[in-house]
Chain A
């Protein structure tokens, strides 16, 4: 029964990537029609995508990394509020952010690779902030002290101590930023910058041929397999295998007045692009809308979004906890990591590719559709696709926390009278609570702003806040966009608050 359940879950998680790859291998003839065209376009596409990716990584490291260091290192008035504000861009889809900057500044910069990179950098800075804050909290302050006693100055300590120590979280941050960029064609389209995901979209919609889209998509998947293998190799080689042992608690430096002023200026500068500037314009435009035409659909969109996101959250929680329960025993920890790595494919590949896989799998000719003819008319395909996409957001924190829980804890539970299930519920689950809170918050937030999958797989009469925001952004209805964005931010307020609390506890 356990083995069957495990295989079923693995099948579901791996299905989208496997489906796309097998479809591609069955349609290799497309290469003879399109091989030359794709080859001629690929260098330019990859160069542009890499350019945007580099800009996005740089901006996200500055806008997320600097606040992470400031809030970790210093104690200053408003530190916790500032931490919350850094996370605020989580609430806004990247396409809406870019649209806002385009409307507000009217600058050509936001129709260029650097501008697109900035939009992604702002949108992804909260993730970088989260990852680096946790990494910094787990780094013993004694390393810095040892380096000081060995005569290393600040720059040397930064280059030869902090950067190597933070190499893995920095790499993970960069990978996450690039995944977001790779998957999001809508923002690239808005900027008019021809990235790989936009090219994939254009070729698919232009030719109306699934085989061409799948051919391109499979090249992405294969590249991802190679990248993941390399990253996993690095991770296993350079990450300490022992669970974190106790070290002196980090003491924040109390700022003198002048220092506090400098720190506050740096904080304000860091949150301006992601929070202050957008919120100012959003409120300005929203007040233009107030009292004009009625806000029809707002309540319905909000209800749809919240219920869909909540169901996705429950589904991902259920899948991940079942996986942890089935695989958490010591010898199977590697299996759990392997499943997590496979689940990352669904996040790393462009959302359009996931949509394509779901179009194929929810085909009316499949057995599933014949047995459940109403399936496509419900939110189930949309929920399943979204859950698969964001599953890593809860698996990764769980795997990370599990690796730091001593195996003796579960054994103690067993010896004290708990069955396997009972030990999982009474001993392991409570220890996993912080990871569950973080993962749940991130999944809820991501679902609320997800656009590509919702557009393609929505059932009849379905709408959502993010879809409406996308429509209003593309038709330049700034006041309406602003109102919907504000409501979205209000709904996501609580999960972001829980994330900020988690960071403070770490």
Chain B
């Protein structure tokens, strides 16, 4: 279980997060709802360990990951997955190498096999050797999902994954996620401003308070 307790974050004199507490369990999807500028992405980054809060605690299975302004466990050691709004695929790697990137340094053959399986689950196995600059928005997000899920993360963060795709692609991605997520032993946090996304994917919702 990933838990955030009394997370506060401010930049200069601006309070972005004020006393946020939430938790989520494996195999459950928690949607974090709120309008633009409510601090959803900031909260996500704090939970990932990419930035430190002003105060508060982040725990995994009661083990402290972040305490106040100190990041006790660095992001690369948390075994979390993060899908970005703009997919953030590495431009110098093709599709399959993007997916292999986060896999443990086992034998190349094993990594490749694992990556191919995930591309198959995402329905884009034919794109394995493609340059990412040739992909559409929806295809990029599928690759990003495969990359995030292939290392079997303990927690998956989805940061507005459908905001840069059209309605049809959104529907396809939600279908894929609904197929893949229940099988993965992963606690999922979905950050979105769209209540329909929350309704179709999440088990619970958390409303970001107004500052």
Contact = CB atoms under 8 A, between A and B. Distances in A.
Q: Do chains A and B touch in the complex (CB under 8 A)?
A: yes
B75 A414 contact: yes
A418 interface: yes
A415 B101 CA distance: 11
Contacts of A406: 86, 88
Nearest to B153: A415
B83 to A, nearest CB: 9
A409 B88 contact: yes
B82 A415 contact: yes
A416 B80 CA distance: 8
B50 A415 contact: yes
B56 interface: no
A433 interface: yes
B92 A431 contact: yes
A408 B164 CA distance: 15
Given A430-B92, A433-B92, A415 B86 contact: no
Interface string B110-125: 0000000000000000
A416 B78 CA distance: 9
A430 B132 CA distance: 15
What's the interface size class on A, roughly? 10 to 19
A419 B76 contact: yes
A416 B88 contact: no
A415 B90 contact: no
Contact of B82 (A412, A418, A419, A426): A412
Contacts of A430: 90, 92-93
Interface residues of B, number: 25
A408 B76 contact: no
Contacts of B90: 409, 412-413, 427, 430-431
A231 B76 CA distance: 40
| Prevailing SS type, chain A contact patch | helix
Given A406-B88, A408-B88, A415 B80 contact: yes
Interface string B80-102: 11101110101111000000011
| Prevailing SS type, chain B contact patch | loop
B27 interface: no
Given A408-B84, A408-B86, A415 B48 contact: yes
B175 interface: no
B45 interface: yes
A91 to B, nearest CB: 30
B151 A416 contact: yes
Contact of B50 (A409, A411, A418): A411
Contacts of A416: 76, 81, 101-102, 147-148, 151
A406 B85 CA distance: 11
Contacts of A411: 45, 48, 50, 75, 82, 84, 88
B15 to A, nearest CB: 18
A504 to B, nearest CB: 16
Nearest to A427: B90
B178 interface: no
A430 B98 CA distance: 13
A414 B76 contact: yes
Contacts of A153: none
B74 interface: yes
Nearest to B80: A415
Most interface-central of A413, A416, A430 (chain B CB within 10 A):
A416
A43 interface: no
A414 B50 contact: yes
Most interface-central of B76, B93, B101 (chain A CB within 10 A):
B76
Given A411-B50, A411-B82, A412-B82, A417 B88 contact: no
Interface string A260-293: 0000000000000000000000000000000000
Contacts of B92: 430-431, 433
Contact of B76 (A409, A418, A431, A433): A418
A412 B84 contact: yes
A424 to B, nearest CB: 13
Contacts of B75: 411, 414-415
Contacts of B86: 406, 408
Interface of B: 45, 48, 50, 74-76, 78-82, 84-86, 88, 90-93, 101-102, 104, 147-148, 151
24 contacts: A406-B88, A408-B86, A411-B88, A412-B82, A414-B50, A415-B50, A415-B75, A415-B80, A415-B81, A415-B82, A415-B102, A415-B148, A416-B76, A416-B101, A416-B148, A417-B79, A417-B102, A417-B151, A418-B76, A419-B74, A426-B101, A430-B90, A431-B90, A431-B92
Given A416-B151, A417-B104, 13 more contacts: A406-B88, A408-B86, A409-B88, A411-B45, A412-B82, A414-B50, A415-B76, A415-B81, A415-B102, A416-B148, A417-B102, A427-B90, A430-B93
- Which 10 A-B pairs give the minimum distances between C-beta atoms? A416-B102, A430-B92, A408-B88, A412-B88, A408-B84, A415-B82, A414-B75, A417-B76, A409-B88, A411-B50
